[in-house]
Structure 1
């Protein structure tokens, strides 16, 4: 929770308010002591400017409400455009190896590493109790900003160890580390000349993992979706699970809505702290850029992306107190949620599945997972 709510203050420190500047950046030639300077009173101040800039006029050309064809035609065209904007490519299966395992609170936790190619391997944790309640379904647990380890039980934060709690409830759970976080915080860690980091860095947050991907027509969320599909294929091929339910919070909630669009195995979707409009979530709610998709509002919004999952059951969750404010950089329960929910329900209605969309707002709760509601949803 603290990491989510301190982002703005951390950024201001990084930008120069209280941040120590390295000596190498402060070195300059000595100046003549007698030289005079233009006084500061001369220079223009922001109070003398008009600074109410914002982007507007999103076209949303492929939003369901604007589409004149059939729901099935909309789904294909919108899905194909989304794949293009994400820079998404259908991945091939990859091999993974078990590194180590442990027992914790009645759950067996296995640490696996998948080799994507010669330059990249990615980690995930497989959790199960001794007598799983279901033998035909698994759960993909997707963490948000922070790290994967708290989901599995290293400490408690806004995830509330939901991967561990689901395993204790009888689910087999796969909890992958996502690009840009935890052990994947610097994707070029093995190259001393390069820094492709995101959430945590000794050099400050420049989000180079995001900006570098944009230069190549890629997005980090698109590449993360490819990783999750690789893990999904591995689960199916090695553990025999044909149906995968999905649960995620915050950025993990964004991914939980988007990755199933490209999957044929996903059953149920639980998305916490997400699904309001893209418009304003960066400038107004001060979100970090992991879920940024260049040009997305020219074609669609988050309600359309979620609607591409119709007719799968989808549960949206928010904390009642997770609203915009100077100390909340998630602000997922904002004024765009209800209009987006209405758009989502309209899409599901067109597919004859309006009853499959549900909403839970947890009273007196912030940006955090509701474990009881999650377990109840996945038990159905």
Structure 2
């Protein structure tokens, strides 16, 4: 049943550019509805309230602690990292996190001797700001202060299952809510920071890769993405083994496979990062899914803008290819193969 692609309404089968664009419009609209983004949008009619709590000056950047009320009653903490030096227009990088106990604090490099940084290069926001980019490290819904009272008392990593169950009662999904939060952060950055709207990138690992991929698929203001250790097939990853409840979208396999979702990003630059020995997003399925994605980019006239990097380790972040990709992208309109 998981592999019955004939049932998928938006399985990619376009043969020319007009058909591709029509397919993207249809799938994007339906995906917005399926994720619950249309439902969220219908209750959000004002500019989100924001508040800065503190600012810390470090050796090469300023780290500000902010809050944004992305929808009524939902407050999302985030770090804003800004390089030191004269003000100038810079690329924007947003780094959503995955299932981590220290979440945005790890990504911002705010935890001394953090084993997640040492073992998995997960200080992704700090890496980005050191490359010279304005960077936002948000906290995902269902983590930290957004956990249930029970989960906070038990010191559970997240309350993803509870959030997902509650959201589903309103025709929403936790992935959709996290995508919405990213969209509001883009609004905030464009309105308040000296960011280049032609250079907006998302990158994160695991659950952060999920948010990066879906946000880029939905919001065309995202000009590039580098999801790490997520892209695969639904059938061989979350459909084949137990994953956190936040991964599941009711009805998604009636619509499309993951390569189709990623195909909504075409022809914008996309770097898929994977681990050779990742046990929960199997590499054979990553490769087969990427082959289908490459077909979409080829039809879009941009085969060179879709790349796959396979690290030699497991389920972790691989920073070198990401920042090589970003540096060349932000300084040139032509991409070379990051594997060379």
TM over 0.5: yes
What is the count of residue pairs matched by the alignment?
310
For residues 203 and 75 of structure 1, the distance between their equivalents in structure 2, rounded to whole angstroms, comes to: 36
Q: Which has the higher helix share?
A: 2
Q: Which residue of 2 aligns with 1:57?
A: 4
**1:94 lines up with 2:48 in the alignment:** yes
| Correspondence for 2:172 among 214, 218, 221 | 218
Contact kept, 8 Å, 2:277 with 2:283, in 1: the verdict is: no
Q: Which residue of 1 aligns with 2:321?
A: 373
SS of the residue corresponding to residue 322 of structure 2 reads helix
For residues 318 and 98 of structure 2, the distance between their equivalents in structure 1, rounded to whole angstroms, comes to: 14
Give 5+ residue unaligned stretches, structure 2.
329-340
Q: Which residue of 2 aligns with 1:244?
A: 200
For residues 84 and 321 of structure 2, the distance between their equivalents in structure 1, rounded to whole angstroms, comes to: 23
**Shift in alpha-carbon separation, 1:311–1:118, aligned structure 2, 3 A:** closer
Q: Which residue of 2 aligns with 1:262?
A: 218
SS of the residue corresponding to residue 306 of structure 1 reads helix
| Correspondence for 1:353 among 302, 321, 332 | 302
Q: Which residue of 2 aligns with 1:253?
A: 209
**Shift in alpha-carbon separation, 1:307–1:217, aligned structure 2, 3 A:** same
Contact kept, 8 Å, 1:253 with 1:272, in 2: the verdict is: yes
Report the CA distance between 1:283 and its aligned residue. 4.8
Which residues of 2 match residues 1-380 of structure 1 at below 5 A? 57-58=4-5, 59-65=7-13, 70-89=19-38, 90=41, 93-131=47-85, 135-146=89-100, 147-153=103-109, 154=111, 155-157=114-116, 158-186=120-148, 189=149, 207-241=161-195, 242=197, 243-322=199-278, 324=279, 331-363=280-312, 365-380=313-328
Query: Which piece of structure 1 moves more, 142-151 or 124-133?
Result: 124-133
Contact kept, 8 Å, 1:142 with 1:176, in 2: the verdict is: yes
Q: CA RMSD in A?
A: 2.6
For residues 286 and 117 of structure 1, the distance between their equivalents in structure 2, rounded to whole angstroms, comes to: 30
Q: Which residue of 2 aligns with 1:47?
A: none
Report the CA distance between 1:204 and its aligned residue. 9.6
**Shift in alpha-carbon separation, 1:348–1:201, aligned structure 2, 3 A:** same
For residues 206 and 138 of structure 1, the distance between their equivalents in structure 2, rounded to whole angstroms, comes to: 28
Give 5+ residue unaligned stretches, structure 1.
1-53, 190-194, 325-330
Report the CA distance between 1:55 and its aligned residue. 5.2
For residues 171 and 52 of structure 2, the distance between their equivalents in structure 1, rounded to whole angstroms, comes to: 33
SS of the residue corresponding to residue 64 of structure 1 reads coil
Report the CA distance between 1:87 and its aligned residue. 1.1
For residues 246 and 136 of structure 1, the distance between their equivalents in structure 2, rounded to whole angstroms, comes to: 15
**Shift in alpha-carbon separation, 1:347–1:184, aligned structure 2, 3 A:** same
Contact kept, 8 Å, 2:90 with 2:133, in 1: the verdict is: no
State the TM-score, normalized to the length of structure 2.
0.83
**Shift in alpha-carbon separation, 1:133–1:168, aligned structure 2, 3 A:** farther
Contact kept, 8 Å, 1:273 with 1:333, in 2: the verdict is: no
Report the CA distance between 1:145 and its aligned residue. 1.2
SS of the residue corresponding to residue 8 of structure 2 reads coil
**Shift in alpha-carbon separation, 1:67–1:61, aligned structure 2, 3 A:** farther
State the TM-score, normalized to the length of structure 1.
0.75
**Shift in alpha-carbon separation, 1:206–1:73, aligned structure 2, 3 A:** closer
**Shift in alpha-carbon separation, 1:203–1:180, aligned structure 2, 3 A:** closer
